[in-house]
Amino acid sequence: MMDVDENRGREERMRICAVKGNSGTEEEVLFPLLSEKGVPMQGCPVGALTAEHARGRALVKELADAVHTFLTNPRWMVYSLLVGLFLHILNLAGLYILFLAFQQPVQLGTLVSGFGMGVVFYVVTILPQGVGTVLGIMTLVFNSMGIPKANALVITLTFRGLNFWLPVLCGFLLIRSLSRFKSTSG
């Protein structure tokens, strides 16, 4: 288990990288030069970058607080890991049910490989939520492991539709019901 004091040093290094690194250089050197050249300090681009820097510092603080919470309360880390594992198992079960629904036999190794690569590409791709890449890699893995290409594509499309696009659509529809997003104009 990581020592809490050892973690404080890591937190400080994260803050230094976030505040003194790129953001600090821009705020201390670049922005004053831009101001001298007549670029307004409010609005774009300087105001937007300053707001991004503030969000970045807030994110670093949230990350450091989360790490500190996990280190001082290991039960929260175990709880989080168990919830994450449960959700992945639930998604795998849903994917398996889709294979059954499309009358496509699948072995556990094939199922886990396709799902696992989808999760990896969901995380590492630069596209938001792995749009397009997750679909492509899952179809490719299933097909390379013996599932006919058409079946692999339809099952993966259905899985992503139910697992990603349906909740996104529901979120877009329900966000209007939140008072903070309602229009204030009469």
SS (H, E, C) 109-138: HHHHHHHHHHHHHHHHCCCHHHCCHHHHHH
Task: List the domain range (segments joined by +) for residue 54.
Answer: 4-72
CA count, 13 A, side-chain hemisphere, 62: 6
User: What is d(CA 129, CA 123) in angstroms, rounded to the nearest whole number?
Assistant: 7
Residue 55: inside a domain: yes
Residue 182: inside a domain: no
Looking at the fold, whether 54 and 114 belong to one and the same domain comes out as: no
Each residue's pLDDT tens digit, 89-125 = 999 999 999 999 999 999 999 999 999 999 999 888 8
Which residue, of 48, 72, 96, is where some domain finishes? 72
Q: Are 118 and 110 in contact (CB under 8 A)?
A: no
Residue 86: inside a domain: no
- Banded model confidence at residue 154, pLDDT cuts 50, 70, 90: very high
Looking at the fold, whether 66 and 115 belong to one and the same domain comes out as: no
76 Cβ contact partners less than 8 Å away, ≥ 6 residues apart: 69, 70
Residue 161: inside a domain: yes
CB atoms within 10 A of CB 78: 11
Residue 91: inside a domain: no
**What single DSSP character describes residue 73?**
-
Residue 22: inside a domain: yes
What pLDDT, on the 0 to 100 scale, is given for residue 3? 60
User: What is d(CA 118, CA 130) in angstroms, rounded to the nearest whole number?
Assistant: 8
Residue 81: inside a domain: no
Instruction: Name the percent of the chain lying above pLDDT 70.
Output: 77
User: Per the confidence metrics, is the pTM higher than 0.85?
Assistant: no
Q: What is the mean pLDDT of the chain?
A: 82
